[in-house]
Amino acid sequence: MIAPELAASRCALFVPGNREERFAKAIAAGADAVILDLEDAVVAGDKATARETVLAFFTKEVVRARSDQAVGLRVNNVHTRDGLADLAALVASQAKPDFVLVPKVESAVEARLFARHLDRANADIGVACLIESVRGLEAAAEIATAHPRVRTLVFGAADYSLDQRVRPSWEPLLAARSRLAQVAGAAHLGLIDSPFFELDNVAGLAEEAKRSQALGFTGKLAVHPRQVPAIQEAFAPSEAEVARAKRIIAALEAAGGNVCELDGEMVEGPVVAAARQVLARARQ
């Protein structure tokens, strides 16, 4: 059985790794993916206990909200003592998360370090690399192709904006998002956008998610269950888009696969491929 992929997720919901009572609730919240967090959501004094809790959770059969839901964990940075402890404990355990999100990745070497050690786990565990620094963005193309286990790039706007000395708003970070969209597209990887931290601003969340989707992102992180519906809706095609895509495919088939015209638009290779992408997103 192929493990569910973070790369195919419209929304990935964080839950603190030291709050075991929230794990089942997070999984039931409807997100395509859930991330048990050992990094930012856990204070230094609780990290060892959280590590044990999360790995024990993954040694059991994870009860998912649906069969294609991905459930993984975010470890600590590999340049920290906690990050090395996370990696060693994961490899030594029988835990089988669907993916591991590695934060603050700045080189292909860091991505390969995790991926190669996971090879010993004899499981189809994907690696997602969180790009949240200028150095990480500069090395993004090498990170994306560092190892076959690397299947997703994730943008961390909060830390990146601090590093680049800009406000964490859309316009100052547009160039960074655009660059990651190019890199992920070239490497055929999933691309997950940063969280939106204004929990009560649903309209702002929906607008940013739609902008991310239009730019080439395949999903977005959530930091609260109530953000999930707006994100998943933003990354799903509209009824009009689905209807248009179906008409394009029907026109192509009626023309025997040859170039044809629909509503004054030429229907050929890229147009057909885009229509098929829309239908694939609708099926998801």
Question: Which pLDDT value is given to residue 2?
Answer: 46
Taking the model in full, what pTM does it have? 0.88
Share the mean pLDDT of the chain: 91
Vertex 107, ends 102 and 108: CA angle to 5°? Answer: 85
What the chain holds in terms of domains, given with CATH numbers, is: 6-234 (3.20.20.60), 239-283 (no CATH)
Mean pLDDT to the nearest integer, 121-149: 93
Q: 284 falls in which pLDDT band (50, 70, 90)?
A: low
Confidence check: pLDDT of 171 > 80:
yes
| DSSP letters for 137-161 | HHTHHHHHTS-TTEEEEEE-HHHHH
pLDDT over 70, % of the chain: 96
**Weakest mean pLDDT among 61-75, 91-105, 121-135, 245-259:** 245-259
Q: 248 falls in which pLDDT band (50, 70, 90)?
A: confident
Pairing relation of β-strands 11-16 and 265-267?
unpaired
